[in-house]
Chain A
Amino acid sequence: MWSVHQHGTARALTTNLAGVILVVVALSLSFAATYARDSKHLVAGISTASDVPGTCHLAHDYFESEMAVAELTPPVPCTAPHSSETLWTRQLTGILALQHNRPTPELLSGQYKDVCQDPTQLDHYIGHIWPGFPYNLVVYPRYPSAPEWRAGLRTVRCVGSLWFNQGVNRLTWSFPLRGSWSRTMSAIIRLCADAAGAYLPCDRPHVDEVLEPLNPFPATQISFPAPQLSRRLGLGPCTREALDLLGRKSIPREYQVVVEPAERQNWPHSHDVGCRIRSSVRSGTLAAGLT
């Protein structure tokens, strides 16, 4: 038989045990609240290995494009509207590639900012053997996911997206970029400008089609040239570029070759002038011979 004292002690123990359990339950409920996630709408991305060149993706917002270090959303058909296409891959090297954990986005962007900058490769991919200026394409890297990086993968995907856009939404297109330069739909990856001078894709209403910039100055030109000199020296080569694009021997009356003078802020590293074909407002590219 328990004494009164033992009964009291047992009761106190029971009370305190129940109290501790109560506190633990209160804490556990709050802790569980931190994991109240909607797992149905949080899905693992595809693997980097499956995101081969020619794979297209549709980013729905800022967090799937600009903010994403390793965007691995499921692909969409390249004939459906999409916002990026994987063009080629590269292997990362250097000190960052030796890290077990994927370095910060700042370190990656600082060290590998040029890893995907390869104009020759881009020309090859889109079939840029024809004249024109594919300046409305930007190529940027997508890194392996953090678990893939830890597993040793160092493959970076070089992804192409359209750059200049005057619309309210992210620019999409509906054809594969591979070999697309010879097709009329390539207007969207060509660069044009409106009457206010703002760049936009050539499939939008525009007055200028932008050609490849060129350096018309002799090597002896050291000092920054006056705009008139830029225009005078640039007109000949710009006209030749325009004729190449138009597939003609002379510039039709409705078109005008415009030379954008060299810019003072760029002069230390670039002597290029801009070349454009000006017309009345039109849509599409002036490039000849497209299918």
Chain B
Amino acid sequence: MNGPVAPDWRQWSPRLKRIAVAQPSRRTRRVVGVLIGAFWAAFLMARLFFRGTVGLADETDGHRYLCQRGLQAVLPSDNVRLYWHIYTTYNTHTWYGETCGTYRGDETKYASSHEAVLWLGQQLNGLFGMPGAFDLRTLAIVYALVIGVAIGLTFALLPGNLLVRLVITVGIGLVYTESVVAVYFVSPYAEPTVWCGFALLLPALLWFWKAPEISWPRLALVVGISFFTIAAKTQAVGYLPAILFALLWKRSPLSDSRHTAQALRRRATGLMAAARGRGRSIVAGALLVTAVGGYVGTGGNLTVYSQLNVYEMVFTTLLPAGHDPAADLRWMGADPALAYASGTSVVSGDGASYDPRLLTFSRDVSQVTVLRFVAAHPLRLVPLTQYGLRALGHWRPAYLGNYTDTPAHPGLQQECRDCFYYYLFTPARKAPFWFGVLLLLTLLGGLWIRNVGFIPAPNRVMGKVAVFFVLATFGEFWTVQLTQGVGDEVKHHVFTLLPMMLCVPSFIGCLLLGRRVPDGASDDTSDSAATGTGDGDEDNLATAPIPAAAGL
């Protein structure tokens, strides 16, 4: 009888295994990269839309972005509690005077690159068949596609065999579909623009690091994405140190160690190329810092929030962390009589925000004063760290709902369609000390893979990735802690959670790529072939080990 022949899994299994552990060719990387990207875009959309849209309710901060695009939320009534549900549809509306301000009807407009993203959403809204002049779901689709592209590109640019790349990109994908991050994709906030920028930054950095030498187009791409990301929301400025470090962490080309005239010439050429490249990185980094400074200084956001942030840092955070608030205020040059307000927030009825003496306080105490105070009282870093870790343990704010306003979903209901990292971090959420352990392990993993001799050169880029995410986490953690303290810190620390979660796939990547690889395991015939002119960092050398001394 002639029937379908069952596949012989005993034959297939070794073949699959061979494919999985072999270095993928350029074509394989492209094809699988596209598939991976499409999968994550579809998965993100499914987790946002399947069985009802989920997102994050607007606690009024979202208004400042949408109103600048002439948009007003369509609400079922004037009396709805904005915090409780998400309202996705917006109509065109003219805003007069200070009704479209940064904070509580202020004259300034909140400068954000998110405005350009909203503009794009407005253009695509009709095309996607969405109601109103703009619908948050339109942008959610765009965000999902961007995240898919970023993950696909990351897959194509990562080192390692198919299996390793898959494992790492699955870890990355789960970060962007994790509830604490994903709910922002259906929200009026600027965070999803930061998420997309951060997701694209990884392949851009991989591309930059893999180049044989530092080239302007790659620098421009990294710097452009970085600035777009930071300019979406000033809080993202905490990523800047990590980005600068990534820009400058481009090792000089390996030199030929022989003492022939040709080798000496090549060595000299290499050194010159390194100096030239480093100079380019420094110039690009300086331009980025200047742009960020210009954005923060002129965007108006600082004007509005500096007083608010100083209040939260001093009265809500630093004074309760000490034993003598009056003495602390005296140190800052402020009226010690305001010590009664220790432990209050701006909106506390019994706080100093209603006290005319705050006028003098606001004149005399700035964010620089706060930083000087912390520098002079380094022990305050202990409670600051504790507050920050506690906020990370809380994971997400409980005062904002995730569902649309339907009878099926009571106000403030939270969704958990993908809570992979929430559950993975359960020990850390209960004992935030483990967050520190994760960062330390990732940092060590990253440094180890850069320095151990037997590790194939292309795999070492994973070390940079790991260290980049650790620095981004660290930078963001302290940006939040030193600028806003415990004012709405759970919500603010989502910027910290993002790179922290990304530390997990980075760390796993370091472990997987740090294994000894038998000779001849690579079938890569593409851009990883040795050219003899590269920096010996990643793609430009074959998988031959390089001396540990050249690691950093």
Task: Give A contacts to B, CB under 8 Å.
Answer: 12, 15-16, 18-20, 22-27, 29-38, 40-46, 60-64, 67-74, 94-96, 99, 103-107, 109-111, 145-147, 165, 167-170
CB-CB contacts below 8 Å: B203-239 with A: 215-217, 219-221, 223-224, 227-228, 231
The 9 A-B residue pairs with the shortest CB-CB distance in the complex, in nearest-first order: A45-B97, A41-B70, A110-B354, A19-B216, A26-B224, A168-B77, A33-B116, A106-B353, A38-B70
Cβ contact within 8 Å between A147 and B216? no
| B residues in contact with A20, CB < 8 Å | 216, 283, 287
Residues in B112-141 with C-beta less than 8 Å from chain A = 112-113, 115-119
* A23→B279 CA distance, assembly (Å): 14
Give the chain B neighbours of A24 by CB distance below 8 A: 287
Contact check: which of B94, B216, B276, B307 meets A23 at CB < 8 Å?
A: B216
Q: Would A36 and B119 count as touching, CB distance under 8 A?
A: yes
Given A19-B220, A30-B228, do A72 and B96 touch, yes or no (CB 8 Å)? yes
Confirm or deny: B38 has a beta carbon within 8 angstroms of a beta carbon on chain A.
no
Question: Which residues on A sit within 8 Å (CB–CB) of B97?
Answer: 43-46, 70-73, 145
- Given A23-B287, A73-B99, A146:B219 Cβ within 8 A: no
B250 interface hit (Cβ, 8 Å): no
Contact between A147 and B359, CB atoms less than 8 A apart:
no
Asked whether any CB of chain A lies closer than 8 Å to the CB of B392, the reply is no
B359 contacts A42, CB within 8 Å?
no
- Chain B residue at smallest Cβ distance from A99: B359
B355 at the interface (CB under 8 A from A): yes
A149 CB, min distance to chain B CBs, angstroms: 9
Kindly state the separation between the CA atoms of A147 and B101 in the bound complex, as whole angstroms.
14
If A35-B115, A68-B105, A103-B359 touch, whether A42 touches B95 (CB-CB below 8 Å) is yes
Let me know if A26 and B221 touch, CB within 8 A: yes
On whether the beta carbons of B224 and A30 are closer than 8 Å, the reply is yes
Interface membership of B54, Cβ < 8 A: no
- Residues of B that sit less than 8 Å from A by CB: 60, 63, 67-70, 72-73, 75-79, 82, 92-100, 104-107, 109, 111-113, 115-119, 215-217, 219-221, 223-224, 227-228, 231, 276, 280, 283-284, 287-288, 291, 294-295, 299, 307, 346-347, 353-356, 358-359
27 A-B contacts, Cβ less than 8 Å apart?
A: A16-B280, A19-B216, A19-B219, A24-B287, A27-B287, A29-B228, A30-B227, A31-B231, A34-B112, A37-B68, A37-B109, A40-B94, A42-B94, A42-B100, A43-B95, A45-B99, A46-B97, A60-B72, A71-B98, A72-B97, A96-B359, A99-B359, A104-B307, A104-B353, A107-B355, A107-B359, A145-B97
Q: With contacts A146-B107, A169-B78 known, is A30 near B291, CB below 8 A?
A: yes
| Contact call A67/B104, Cβ cutoff below 8 A | yes
Provide the residues of chain B in CB contact with A110, threshold 8 Å.
353-355
Contacts beyond the supplied A33-B116, A61-B73, A110-B355: 18 A-B pairs with Cβ under 8 Å? A19-B280, A23-B216, A26-B221, A29-B228, A30-B231, A31-B295, A34-B299, A36-B115, A41-B95, A42-B94, A63-B67, A68-B105, A69-B104, A70-B105, A107-B354, A111-B354, A145-B97, A146-B98
The docked-state distance in angstroms from the alpha carbon of A240 to that of B406 is 49
Q: Are B106 and A33 in contact (CB under 8 A)?
A: no
Chain A contacts for B358, CB-based, 8 A? 107
